[in-house]
Chains A and B, each alone.
Chain A
């Protein structure tokens, strides 16, 4: 589990930072990467303070969240439990970082820094409690599935908590921020697709930590549970792999049909679309089911990323098209494809009903609390940078840096046309 937690951490930095950074424009690559790094910094601390307590504990409030003060600062947590905290911490970090793809090029960095702790507190921790902590979206008595007479819901590693949650939050923020200047009129292209492909590859690797690592919670150390643990990890590893593989194929086929060429960005996006869809389903499907789910997710996400142009919202790097749509495909797909309880296995529609309803509930929860939190941030410090800063690029306006300096590279440091060095910099150059 220590290894799994480290893998999931790698998904945020560097994997997601590279994946998103390559898709940004060169004038905002650093800001995009900084949003991942700051999620690690800020959410990482918050999780230890009250995140774990709100997600897991015995002082449940209306099955929606746990008392944040029960184990505030990990009071009473010790020994081997720290690794459960660490593992879950990385989930909160990556979920918050996923949202940043929707707000590229135009969100104030200060607004992001204020948004992060509020959003995880009101949207992520409660949903984590509801799904995994024995709350309203779990299989407990009195929970949603019980109330509607459905089967116990399945969300292995975060279809609702992670992907639907981040996807809806991205959509709400994109709507509140408005479109980037020039959206739909001038080319806003990815500036470095090799970075994006490296990022997608690392995300795939990290995803094994995400999905396979989630199994340990069921193991109690006896021979029997060890055997179950081994067979489950094997299945989950294989399902994770083939779903991602199938989604690459699904995305490429759609591209070939629509535009005549399979693109590298499409293949990288397909990897993520498949991994997103298999996240909630990886322990409930057969490998053939995982391939079907991956194909469907790859194809649907490829079709969905064009929606922002048709519907007129600027979800810059397609958080909605990949994570919300992929998360819905996975969460709802379980209702059809689960080897226990799925429609295709002759078990009726009880599980399907549950999966649809918990997905809808998670969407509404995330939308409401993202909106309220973003509105608060907007009223306090504003959300969007001014027009001049946006044109110049948020790397410079928000961080005082630029990602690439080719001015001196061309002349190997001897360009007579490059920047001149001020006295102040010369003095500090050797420091």
Chain B
């Protein structure tokens, strides 16, 4: 099993969710996060004083999937979240040792 984590621009969240649902992803965990990459945030100006705001708002999506689906899901996220402009985000995949469904006690693939 794999954990796919994607950090994307907030306004792309609805597109990504729809695409993932169409693919058949049953569930995911989503959080509002902030951070920065190479673009290093943005600048705000208040009465002439400039403030560098390092952290930019992002959406983080976490999905645990079977090994065979991981590459497809990464493709879907990249395709739907891409604007071509700086700050589009990242997607990464990590191995998952075990998963348990809290309600039933089902384990691993049966718990997905």
Contact = CB atoms under 8 A, between A and B. Distances in A.
A306 B46 contact: no
Interface in A209-264: 255, 258-259, 261, 263
Contacts of B103: none
A259 B51 CA distance: 12
A259 B46 contact: no
A190 interface: yes
Contacts of A258: 48
A306 to B, nearest CB: 4
Contacts of A306: 47-49
Interface string A172-201: 000000000000000101100000000000
* B44, B46, B50: most-surrounded residue (chain A CB, <10 A): B46
Nearest to B50: A259
Contact of B45 (A259, A269, A309): A259
A396 B67 CA distance: 53
B11 to A, nearest CB: 20
A263 B53 contact: no
A261 B49 contact: no
B53 to A, nearest CB: 7
Interface in B28-46: 44-46
Interface residues of B, number: 9
Contact of B48 (A187, A189, A190, A305): A305
A269 B46 CA distance: 11
A41 B90 CA distance: 57
Nearest to A308: B49
Contact of A190 (B46, B50, B53): B46
A187 B45 contact: no
B47 A187 contact: no
A261 B45 contact: yes
B51 A189 contact: yes
B53 A269 contact: no
A397 to B, nearest CB: 25
B45 A263 contact: yes
Nearest to B43: A259
B48 A302 contact: yes
Contact of B46 (A265, A302, A303, A321): A265
A318 interface: yes
Nearest to A186: B51
Contact of B49 (A302, A303, A309): A309
Interface string A284-305: 0000000000000000001101
A263 B49 contact: no
Nearest to B49: A309
A321 B48 CA distance: 12
Contacts of B46: 189-190, 263, 265
Interface in A342-356: none
Interface string A104-131: 0000000000000000000000000000
Interface in A262-291: 263, 265-266, 269
A303 B49 CA distance: 11
A428 to B, nearest CB: 36
Interface string B47-67: 111110100000000000000
A60 to B, nearest CB: 42
Contacts of B53: 187
Contacts of A187: 51, 53
A265 B51 contact: no
A189 B50 CA distance: 10
A397 B65 CA distance: 51
Contacts of B44: 189
Interface in A302-321: 302-303, 305-306, 309, 318, 321
Contacts of A263: 45-46
The 3 A-B residue pairs whose C-beta atoms are closest, nearest first, are A306-B48, A187-B51, A305-B47
10 contacts: A189-B46, A190-B46, A259-B45, A259-B50, A261-B45, A263-B45, A269-B47, A305-B47, A306-B47, A306-B48
Given A258-B48, A259-B48, 19 more contacts: A189-B44, A189-B51, A190-B46, A255-B45, A255-B48, A259-B45, A261-B45, A263-B45, A265-B46, A266-B47, A269-B47, A302-B47, A303-B48, A305-B47, A306-B47, A306-B48, A306-B49, A318-B47, A321-B47
